[in-house]
Amino acid sequence: MEHLLAALRAIAEPTRLRLVALCAHGSELTVSELTQILGQSQPRVSRHLKLLCEAAVLERFREGSWVFYRLSQSGPVAGFVAQLVADCDEADPALALDIKRLAAIKRQRADLAADYFRANAARWHRIRSLYIDEREVEAALIDIISRAQPNDLLDIGTGTGRMLEILAGQVGQALGIDQSREMLALARVNLERAGLRNARVRLGDMYQLALADASFDAIVIHQVLHYADRPAAVITEAARVLRPRGILVLVDFAPHDLEFLREEHAHRRLGFADGEIAEWCRAGGLDPSSPCLLPGDPLTVAIWTATRGSGVVGRPSASAARGVAASALIEGELS
């Protein structure tokens, strides 16, 4: 009971309730973003956040010089807080304005990422080579996929289509999804040049895939999560479209402190901890395995894998239902 009372005392203040509602809508937000939305001083906002964290209402984690806040995902008050947020009236003037400002910040993030991809699409491979030798990563991926023996593969955030180029030979059909038209234009050229008839690319949103539940045997997310505003949501959506006995392969950086990657290359996250990835995979109904670490100079690439059991996948979510028609079209084109 004491945990619940502490949470109630922490939330029972207008600004702190607004902060909780914002974290529910924004997934992971920095102090500066919350300060910008609320229009209050950073010290004042930080004091409110400290109280909410002490009551286990919010979680705080530091990544380099940035500090992120999000709703607690587990613990004695997590369910109560989630229900409280669900009961908040979003028509309230203060909450409505907060959500509007949050949407503007999300658009700014998306615009920054889109500008970066447009500016760097033609030299994408050269940029990657500055951090890690991709040949070692690609060899490991080919080995993982060949041992899994999937019939079809989905590459989320396909970029220039490189993963399709190296993995299409291991599967019957392959589909790449990306939100950047510039990247997809390069990918189509690369796939045509490679003569890969069993690989296609499509414009799509990694948070709401226009694909039915349980529609792919293997899914690859290669060097995408560190750009994501909501990496956990990307994994959850990937898990939704993974078939029973299917495999999810995640490739990204282990935790590091190279701040210039944010400033110069639009990285949202500075790598991921093994436990964090494992938690997100389990939340999506997947069974994570120990990662494969490929040390580089200065970055280390981690390859995480997770599999779905043989049980029946649940009914499609609302986002899946909206994507069934588009999924049928895509699968028809791949057949």
pLDDT digits (tens, 9 = 90+) for 132-157: 778 899 999 999 999 999 999 999 99
Strand order of the sheet with strand 66-71? Answer: 29-30, 66-71, 58-63
pLDDT tens, residue by residue, 32-59? 999 999 999 999 999 999 999 999 999 8
- Asked if 61 and 190 sit in the same domain, the reply is no
- Asked if 107 and 140 sit in the same domain, the reply is no
pTM score: 0.71
CATH of the domain at 69: 1.10.10.10
- The angle at the Cα of 204, spanning 203 to 209, to the nearest 5 degrees, equals 150
User: How confident is the model at residue 109, as a pLDDT?
Assistant: 73
- Asked if 272 and 168 sit in the same domain, the reply is yes
Following DSSP, what letter does each residue of 155-192 receive, concatenated?
EET-TTTHHHHHHGGGSSEEEEEES-HHHHHHHHHHHH
pLDDT tens, residue by residue, 159-202? 989 999 999 999 999 999 999 888 888 888 888 889 898 999 99
* Last-in-domain residue among 85, 115, 145: 115
- Asked if 258 and 291 sit in the same domain, the reply is yes
**Segment 290-297 mean pLDDT:** 91
- 285 assigned to some structural domain: yes
Structure tokens at 22: 């914002």
Contact 279, 306 (CB under 8 A): no
- Asked if 172 and 301 sit in the same domain, the reply is yes
